[in-house]
Chain A
């Protein structure tokens, strides 16, 4: 029987999920707008997120493992 794939932090996030990301100035809310796949360092999953703040441009790319669910 094949071993069950271990879940990584952020695996539960999907397009449309509300998330929080940390910046040096604090923690901000965003929405996941695109799953870019496992393109990151050591195959980590990358997501495009759109900040919910009207004062921040976006979307930009963030590793899923560094995002927290805000739901």
Chain B
């Protein structure tokens, strides 16, 4: 069974993102107006995708920490460990970028990206795609398209966003599996 975080990602987040897809499809008006409106929706879609994926990652971290700190036999230490593991997380203030994810999940003791890449060779490319997605998210949110990684582009296409969403979908499943396998021997049982 997947984590609650993954179930939320695959249900609630999917619904929210699907609504954005639907909005993109029903834009009307003249050709120029339609193109402008679709670009605005595509940009909003990028920001929404990032925010939903960031929420998923925070949820997965939260869920993992709660599993690690819920054994009553370790009670006084649980409280200290819980506060240390969940204070000052990068995911609370920053994007779900590969660096921030590696830092926050690394606190739990797991070599996060090594394990994610080991799980599926395609995750090497997905890690780069996630970096690219965050680059676009920042460019849109701050209206600053000078990032060299954007190669001078100022417009994002629906095909781009769909590709990034597929990447997030695949990474979400593998993040869940990595944490599940990592926590299993620590807890003596499967966490979810």
A and B: bona fide binding partners: yes
B83 touches A24 (CB 8 A): no
A61 touches B62 (CB 8 A): yes
- Chain B neighbourhood of A38, CB < 8 A: 4
B76 touches A62 (CB 8 A): no
B62 touches A39 (CB 8 A): yes
In the assembled complex, the Cα of A21 lies from the Cα of B87 at a distance in Å of: 15
Interface-central residue, B70, B86, B92, by most chain A CB under 10 Å: B86
Return B35 CB to nearest CB of chain A, in Å. 39
Q: How many inter-chain residue pairs (CB < 8 Å) link A and B?
A: 46
Is the contact region of chain B dominated by helix, strand, or loop, or is it mixed?
helix
In the assembled complex, the Cα of A41 lies from the Cα of B92 at a distance in Å of: 21
Return B87 CB to nearest CB of chain A, in Å. 4
Known contacts A41-B70, A58-B87; A36/B82 CB under 8 A: no
Known contacts A24-B76, A24-B79; A61/B63 CB under 8 A: no
B80 touches A39 (CB 8 A): no
Contact string, A22-49, partner B, CB cutoff 8 A, digits 1/0?
Answer: 1110000000000011111101101000
Residues of chain B touching chain A, judged by Cβ–Cβ distance below 8 Å, are 4-5, 58-59, 62-63, 65-67, 70, 76, 79-80, 82-83, 86-88, 92
